[in-house]
Amino acid sequence: MPNARATHLTRRGILAAGGAIGLGAALAACGDDDAKSGGSADASKSAAAGPWSFEDDRGTKVRTDRAPASIVAFTGVAAALHDYGIEVKGVFGPTTTKDGKADVQAGDMDVSKLTVIGNAWGQFNIEKYASLAPDVLISTMFDDAGTLWYVPEESKDKITKLAPSVGISVFDRQLPKPLERMLALAESLGADVRAAKIVEAKKNFEKAAERLRTAAKARPEIKVLVGSASQDIFYVSGSNFSIDLEYYKALGVNLVEPSAKALKASGGWFENLSWENVDKYPADVIIMDDRTATIQPADITESTWKKLPAVKAGQVVARTPEPILSYDKCTPMLNNLAEAIEKAKKVA
């Protein structure tokens, strides 16, 4: 793929690689710097003793004198590590909803036991972060410039001086690669990657991938549109750059692709449509952004949306643009899309 990518936008111009960019204001309403927290989770009990090192996806080899015990991570990363038995002390990013429940990106973590350093876009309480005496900070990266997701641009220098950082890329590659990298990171931190539970989870992921490949091959006529909703704009994502969509495309899923001209304004990520033009692209199945910052299908009141053939046929399913990078959490994504394609009626 060409190198003229979304990194040419301002660093924080992109809210999400998969479907909704420019929703920073919406995210800002989801929490504050003093987001509710109830202490911190125990550090990993399985971390190996002695010096620790890990080469991240920036090509940076991070070294510490001992295996990190005080880990602070982006919420989705922390959720993935949790699935591998590695616990963190602090998180930043969408962790709790307005009613105090776990955000979708928190996975199976007990959010009441986490120190939440920032619960929304642009929020990162540096004093609270420093109080944890962090050994390492871990996040994902949605560009090829080494930008750590949800680490605010204006305070990144102060933050990264307090502890070394690790970045796992979720940009312009297929889903299996970031999954492999997260597993390798978990192993370096002490996870038993040969445990039966983890081995079985990987096998289930591979089975789900084959199921999706088979469904796509059997139903090539089924067009799948990738959407995300805000109050005034409906975003239609292209398949480039997003780890899930690039993988679905490689497996043969017939994804609706906005024109190159339409994608240009967002650096190749998506096309903005007004609700009046939401029917621009015919689709048999619509997969919709499941993050709390976006409007969910059941809450969309626009009449143009309700008239879409896929909506009328009940062929709308959830999509996870920021997957929790464990095999256990990514398997349902593949199975749900496979089932939707298997059962879909041709309506477009």
Q: How far is CA 269 from each of CA 10, 57, 216, rounded to the nearest angstrom? A: 14, 21, 23
- Pairing relation of β-strands 270-273 and 234-237? antiparallel
**% of the chain residues with pLDDT over 70:** 86
Q: Per-residue pLDDT for 153 more than 80? A: yes
Give pLDDT, residue 50: 81
pLDDT digits (tens, 9 = 90+) for 279-312: 999 999 999 999 999 999 999 999 999 999 999 9
Is pTM, for the whole model, over 0.75? yes
Question: 48 falls in which pLDDT band (50, 70, 90)?
Answer: low
> pLDDT digits over 97-115, tens only?
999 999 999 999 999 999 9
Residues, the chain: 348
As a whole number, the mean pLDDT across the chain is: 89
E strand intervals along 16-60: 52-55
Identity of the amino acid at 213: R
* pLDDT greater at residue 163 or residue 41: 163
Q: List pLDDT tens digits, range 66-82.
A: 999 999 999 999 999 99
297, 140 contact by CB (below 8 A): no
